[in-house]
Amino acid sequence: MRGIIPIVAIVCTLLAGSMVAGAIESSDFDDPAVCKGCHGEIYNQWDGSMHSIAYTDPVYLAGEEMASNETDGLTDTYCARCHTPIGVLSGEVPPIGHENISEVSKKGIQCDFCHNVNKSTGIGNGAFMVALDGFKRGPYEDSKSPSHGSMLSELHTKSEFCGMCHDVNHPVTGIPIEMTYTEWKEGPYNSTTQCQDCHMTPGITHFEANPGKASGIGPARDHVYTHYFVGGNAAVTGVIGSEVHQQMAEERLKSAATLVLEAEKKVTEAEITVKVTNVGAGHKLPTGLTEAREAWIEIKAKDAAGKEIYHVGGLDSDGEVDPDAVMYHAVLGDAF
C-alpha cells in the first residue's frame, strides 16, 4: 500500500480541475454556429484552426486509440479533457471515438467552452473549471449582448489560460511530457509577452494591434484578439484543407528561427559552422509534442561542377532522418 499512496496523490493533483462526469450535459453548450450569428469574423478565423479540429484531427485520433489500447483506457479522459472538454465534462467520453459523442463535443476547443471557463486550478492536464451561469467571459469589461451576459475575465488575457492545457504531465508519475507553458514561464518573455500576444494577433511572431469589432453589433475597439490560434502545425491543417491556417503556420515556422552559415576555407577542406537562433518563439523550438515534431539541419555541398560532395541531414527511402543530423527535439528518458 505504501507504493500506491504517491500515485493516488499525483492523479488527484493532476485532475484537480475535474468536475463530476455527467454533472452537465453537452446540450448546455451552444454550437459555434450560434456564436457565428454575432461574431462572424471570429468564427471564420476559428473554423479550420487546430482548436476547431482538436477532436477530429486524424493524427490525434490515431494516437488516442493507440494509447487507450496500450493502457486499458487509462488515458481516455486524460487526453480527451483538452481535446474535447465538453465531451469529458458531460460524460460522453469515455468511451473514446465519435460513436457516442454529440456534435457539439466534436467541435473541440470551441467558443462556448472557452468563454464559460471561470477558473484555473493550476497548470497542465486540463486544469480548468467552467460556470454555466449565462455569462460569457472575455477581455472586455464593457461588452453587452442581447443574447447572453458578459463579464471581464483577466484570466482570458493571461498565459495561464493557455497553460491549463499546454503543459502535459504523465498521469501516473507526473513526469513532464509537453512543457510549452513552462518553457515560456522560464524564458525571457514571461514578463513582457503573453501567449495571446503572439497567437491571437496579426503579428507573425510578435504582438500587433488588430483594430476592429469583436461583434458586428459591438463597439469599435483598438484591439480585437484574432482566433486563428496559429502555431506550427502546417501538416494537419493542410490535410483537412484549411489553406489559410496552413499558410499562416508555414509563415510562422519560417519566421521563428534564423540560420547563419560561417565557412572557413582551408587548403583541402572547409569547416562550416551553422548557427541556429530562436528569434520568434516565446518557448522552445520545436515545442509541444516534440517526439512527433522534430527540426533538424540539412546541409548539401557541391563542387564547382555541381557534383554533390557532402550531404548530411537528408531523408532515406523510408523517410527516416540521417542519424548524423543535428536534431532539435525532446527525448524522454530516466535521469542519469
Q: How does DSSP assign 279-308, residue by residue?
A: -S-SS-SS-SSTTTS-EE--EEEE-TTS-E
* Nearest alpha-carbon partner for 181 in 163, 169, 161: 163
Mean pLDDT, all residues of the chain? 90
Which pLDDT score, from 0 to 100, does residue 265 have? 73
User: With the C-alpha atoms ordered 316, 318, 321, 324, is the resulting torsion angle positive or negative?
Assistant: negative
Tell me: the pLDDT tens digits for 77-129?
999 999 999 999 999 999 999 988 999 999 999 999 999 999 999 999 999 99
Q: Are strands 308-312 and 299-302 parallel, antiparallel or unpaired?
A: antiparallel
One-letter-per-residue 3-state SS of 89-151: HCCCCCCCCCCCCCCCHHHCCCHHHHCCEEEECCCCCCCEEECCCCEEEECCCCCCCCCCEEE
Domain residue ranges in the chain = 5-251, 257-328
- CA–CA distance, 204 with 232 (Å, rounded to integer): 11
- CA–CA distance, 317 with 301 (Å, rounded to integer): 20
CA angle 333, 334, 335 (to 5 degrees): 115
Which pLDDT score, from 0 to 100, does residue 6 have? 31
Window from 212-221, 248-257, 286-295, 307-316 with minimum mean pLDDT: 286-295
- CA–CA distance, 173 with 181 (Å, rounded to integer): 19
pLDDT band at residue 189 using 50, 70 and 90 as cut-offs: very high
Instruction: Decide if 153 contacts 171 (C-beta within 8 A).
Output: no
R_g of the chain, CA atoms, integer Å: 22
Which pLDDT score, from 0 to 100, does residue 200 have? 98
Instruction: Decide if 38 contacts 111 (C-beta within 8 A).
Output: no
Q: Are strands 270-278 and 295-296 parallel, antiparallel or unpaired?
A: unpaired
One-letter-per-residue 3-state SS of 40-78: HHHHHHHCCCCCCCCCCCHHHHHHHHHHHHHHCCCCHHH
Looking at the DSSP bridge assignments, the partners of residue 176 are 169
293 phi, psi to nearest 5 deg:
-105, 110
Q: Does 51 or 266 have the greater pLDDT score?
A: 51
pTM score, whole prediction? 0.89
Q: Are strands 308-312 and 168-169 parallel, antiparallel or unpaired?
A: unpaired
Which residues, at least 6 apart from 284, have a Cβ–Cβ distance to it below 8 Å?
Answer: 179, 183, 278, 290
pLDDT band at residue 336 using 50, 70 and 90 as cut-offs: low
Q: Report, as an integer, the average pLDDT of 122-137.
A: 97
Q: Report, as an integer, the average pLDDT of 323-334.
A: 86
Joined together, the cell numbers standing for residue 297 give: 539541419
pLDDT band at residue 283 using 50, 70 and 90 as cut-offs: very high
Which pLDDT score, from 0 to 100, does residue 172 have? 87
pLDDT band at residue 157 using 50, 70 and 90 as cut-offs: very high
Which pLDDT score, from 0 to 100, does residue 14 have? 37
CA angle 294, 296, 302 (to 5 degrees): 150
Window from 20-24, 131-135, 267-271 with minimum mean pLDDT: 20-24
Window from 20-24, 189-193, 207-211, 230-234 with minimum mean pLDDT: 20-24
Which pLDDT score, from 0 to 100, does residue 173 have? 86
- pLDDT of residue 21 exceeding 90, the answer is no
pLDDT band at residue 303 using 50, 70 and 90 as cut-offs: confident
